[in-house]
Amino acid sequence: MKEDIAHSGAWGLAAIMIVVASWILYRYLAPKTWREWASAGVVQAFIIALYAEMYGFPLTIYLLARFFGLDRTNLNANLWSSLVGMGETGMLISMVLGYALLFVGIGIFIQGWRELYRAHQQNRLATTGLYSLVRHPQYAGLFIGLFGEGIVHWPTLFSVGLFPVIVLAYGWLARSEEKRVVEQFGEDYRAYQRRVPMFFPRMGQWRELVERSRGRQE
């Protein structure tokens, strides 16, 4: 393969995106325990690998071109564009869908943080708003946002491989957190666990989840 790959080599932009995304991550997740730092570290690796490939060096495309015969003219750093063969149109479609999921995820993530902060200030369980639909809206928003950006918009070998690891890591962290909450609130939280799903709302409640992420309550 000798052709240049479009949309690569912008290392300055890659660095800016990594810094901004990392700031949002640590600003709202605010890890304290080693479990929280370990989970955040996996997300950090996801962010670095994603934007390094998106704007810097398209490692996924080079490897696929080398080992799976994608050696063709007008290769694009975006995997969907090269696989589907739709060029800029394929990248545009994946970008629109991916960013839509990313912004929904960010909204859920930040609104969940706000609701949990208010509940902590009042020394009560967070069970209203987003928390009436899922027990961990921050993590749900994180999953949706990362899926949109790292799978739908710009899939890479690292982002696709790390995404299930992130889901498992935060599932493990969520269970550890819930054990502490049960110790504090007892049967009240157990009843809440039985009533509300962990990460994703029941069928028919997705629209409500998105609406409440914008601050719309009951």
Considering the domain boundaries, does residue 2 fall inside one?
no
Considering the domain boundaries, does residue 1 fall inside one?
no
Q: What is the CA angle 3-69-87, rounded to 5?
A: 55
Question: How many angstroms separate the CA atoms of 130 and 36, rounded?
Answer: 21
* CATH number of domain containing 55: 1.20.120
Considering the domain boundaries, does residue 148 fall inside one?
yes
Q: How many helices (H) and strands (E) does the chain have?
A: 9, 0
Using N-to-C axis directions, what is the helix angle for 187-195 and 157-185, rounded to 10°? 140
Question: How high is the pLDDT of residue 2?
Answer: 45
Q: How far is CA 126 from the centre of its chain?
A: 22
pTM of the model: 0.87
Question: How high is the pLDDT of residue 134?
Answer: 96
Considering the domain boundaries, does residue 136 fall inside one?
yes
Domain span at residue 207 reads 11-212
For the beta carbon of residue 131, count every other beta carbon within 10 angstroms: 19
Considering the domain boundaries, does residue 199 fall inside one?
yes
Using alpha carbons, select from 10, 140, 6, 54 the residue that is nearest to residue 46: 54
- Per the rule left: phi > 0, alpha: psi between -120 and 50, beta: everything else, 85 is left
Question: How high is the pLDDT of residue 12?
Answer: 87
User: Coil, helix or strand for 39?
Assistant: helix
Query: Mean pLDDT of successive 10-residue segments in the chain (218 residues)?
Result: 58 91 86 90 93 84 69 65 69 89 94 91 90 95 95 90 95 94 91 94 91 70
Considering the domain boundaries, does residue 68 fall inside one?
yes
Question: How many angstroms separate the CA atoms of 167 and 155, rounded?
Answer: 16
Helix (H) or strand (E) run with residue 216 in it: none
Counting the structural domains of the chain, the total is 1
Placement of tokens 């080992």 in the chain: 67
For the beta carbon of residue 215, count every other beta carbon within 10 angstroms: 11
Considering the domain boundaries, does residue 150 fall inside one?
yes
